Amino acid sequence: MNDMKYLVKVSQFVNKTFALWVIIFGILGFIFPEIFKLVGPYVPVLLGVVMFGMGLTLTLDDFKRILTQPLMVVVGTVAHFVIMPLVAVLLCWIFRLDGPLAVGVILVGCCPSGTSSNVMSYLSRGDVALDVSIGILSTLCAPFMIPLLMQWLASQYVTVPVESLFLNAVKVVLFPIALGVICHAIFKEKIEKVTVALPIVSQVAILLIIGVVVAANGSKLFVASSLLAIPVVILHNLCGYALGFGFSKLMYKVYPKGFRYAQQKAITFEVGMQDSALGATLALSSFASNPLAAVPSTFFSVWHNISGSVLSSWWREHDDKHQIHPDSDNGEKGSAAKASEAGDAVKDESEETVNA
């Protein structure tokens, strides 16, 4: 029991400082490339472990939730697969990226949303259930959407191995998740005792993948052409947040009942944050002759954890400062005070009824 509590504490610490750990493993991959190259052939297995862990945490209720609020989940998923790939193409054109780097930027743009978005949505007081539902649906759609979008958007830079992308995505996404869900359904409570260790296992697997990406590129990583990917990745992520929030605000006008303030936060993070570990894995496996294609995913992994933490913290402080209730309609200032007054009024009315 104490060991499990220790694992939880370690996982929470690593999660809070994940961006720092990404940098550390990147440095280790650069200094000790031969060690990390030994891990290279096992990158798909590592990501499969991450996805299997995700499957172990899922229940039938998680899938039922998608059916109970299908409009928001489907709209959020569509927004993710439209906004991020198109922004990636636009940024490649603006910065005149070419070859493997352009392919890498577009590939990370075509990936589903990352699990980090669930944490950021929670920290910002967003709709975590909606966030998780969009994440599940976008991940399940990934094996089909990634090859389709890459063929459409990236074939101008390199020949896109559509079949390889599809098969690799199925192997490292669908199969492990399905196996995890089946194991959870069969073993139930026994699995729940193990799930406390899953976050740290997933975190270590992702860090090893990042080390492999850096080791595979070595000296190519810090030349001017590669470093150009850094501002592109930063803008890609920030544009995702801005357009995701703007899109959810627009949808509020269309369907105010579903796209309220908490849902707007969830969609913002779901659109702007990507499964960069999947992007790096697919780049290394399907574009093995051009490992530079995995570099944008590595940069993205560092940056979106930093930006997500900053945005979620700012959002909480902003809401507290302006007394915005987490469940307000559209982020109205003073809504928290009004909700408190309404609660007090109901309480007083109940007490009067009891006394009477």
Phi/psi of residue 12, nearest 5 degrees: -65, -40
Beta bridge partners of residue 113, listed in sequence order:
274
The predicted-structure confidence for 174-195, as pLDDT tens digits, reads as follows 999 999 889 888 887 777 777 7
pLDDT score at 349: 55
pLDDT score at 351: 53
Q: How far apart are CA 300 and CA 302, in angstroms?
A: 5
Max CA separation in the chain (angstroms): 81
Q: Quote the tokens at residue 157.
A: 């830079």
pLDDT score at 1: 52
Distances (CA, A) of 92 to 102, 106, 107, 277: 6, 8, 12, 21
Q: How far apart are CA 250 and CA 305, in angstroms?
A: 26
Q: Count Cβ atoms below 10 Å from residue 153 Cβ, excluding itself.
A: 21
Q: Which residue reads 């649906």 in tokens?
A: 137
pTM listed for this prediction: 0.87
pLDDT score at 7: 75
The predicted-structure confidence for 8-19, as pLDDT tens digits, reads as follows 788 778 877 887
Beta bridge partners of residue 274, listed in sequence order:
113
- CB-based contact 130:296 (threshold 8 Å): no
Q: How far apart are CA 324 and CA 195, in angstroms?
A: 35
Taking only the tens of pLDDT, the chain with its 356 residues reads 566 677 778 877 887 788 788 889 989 999 999 999 999 999 999 999 889 888 888 877 778 877 888 888 999 999 999 999 999 999 999 999 988 999 999 999 999 987 788 888 988 989 988 998 999 999 999 999 999 999 999 999 888 999 999 999 999 999 999 998 898 888 877 777 777 778 888 888 989 998 998 888 877 777 887 889 999 999 999 999 999 999 999 999 998 888 999 999 999 999 999 999 999 999 999 988 888 899 999 889 889 988 998 999 999 999 999 899 988 998 888 877 665 555 544 454 555 555 55
